[in-house]
Amino acid sequence: MRSGVKEEVNVKKGIYRKFFKRPMDFILSLMAITILSPVLMVVAMLVRLKLGSPVLFKQKRPGLDEKINTKHKYRTMTDEKDENDELLSDSIRLTRFGRMLRSTSLDELPELFNILKGDMSIVGPRPLAIQYLPYYTETERIRHSVRPGLSGLAQINGRNTATWEERFNYDVKYVNEITFLGDLKIIIQTVLKAIQRSDIGERGVDAPMDFDKYRMKDFWR
């Protein structure tokens, strides 16, 4: 299959990545959970009140070395169904409150516990759907040689509005160039973008089509 990724396979493992990144993830996620515990509780209560139960939305995602883990987020959609007992479209079930959670990234706060556990990192390529795994090129698969992140280089350079080629270029570039200062810069820019609510794409509207469908479409051209 064709790919727009041009990065060479050249994964480097520096001192920061080998010895300091994971301990820092643990310490910072523990501090964040402690400091943000009132916010976590308030958001959980509002989700329960406005969207119902369960409060958390669970997803299976590939992690380090493509090991499948369960990722947690606050739910952002209702369970509204039609007369055939089938769920309504995402655009209908995504409420104004849910959009606010997504645009501010508050829905992703439970992922701090995934970071604490070691399934994720504060910074790294975002975890994507399991069904995408067969469609990566060998170069694109490099993104799974590190823990997936709460935010990453692709997220501060377009987030949901970037194309798949752009996302994977940034993911591979990040894995090849992991540094403490680079991670710090990504964290700061992520916070600023969350405050400004910039580069937010609504699923099915601004975001690109599902990667497996996109890659198959690209393959048959």
Mean pLDDT on 197-218: 66
What average pLDDT does this structure show over 17-44? 96
- Residues 89, 113: contact at Cβ < 8 Å? no
CA 109, chain centre distance (Å): 11
Count of other CB atoms within 10 angstroms of residue 185: 14
What's the predicted TM-score (pTM) here? 0.84
pLDDT at residue 199, as a whole number: 59
Phi-psi region of 73 (alpha: psi -120 to 50; beta: other; left: phi over 0): beta
pLDDT of residue 200: 54
pLDDT at 81: 77
CB 218, CB 178: distance < 8 Å? no
Residue range 71-89, pLDDT digits in tens:
999 999 888 777 777 777 7
Alpha carbons 61 and 184: distance in angstroms, whole number: 25
Mean pLDDT of 178-191: 94
**pLDDT of residue 202 exceeding 70:** no
- Confidence tier at 12 by pLDDT (50, 70, 90): low
The pLDDT tens digits for 144-164 are 999 999 999 998 987 667 789
Phi, psi of 80 (to 5 degrees): -60, 135
Q: How confident is the model at residue 9 (pLDDT cuts 50, 70, 90)?
A: low
pLDDT of residue 3: 43
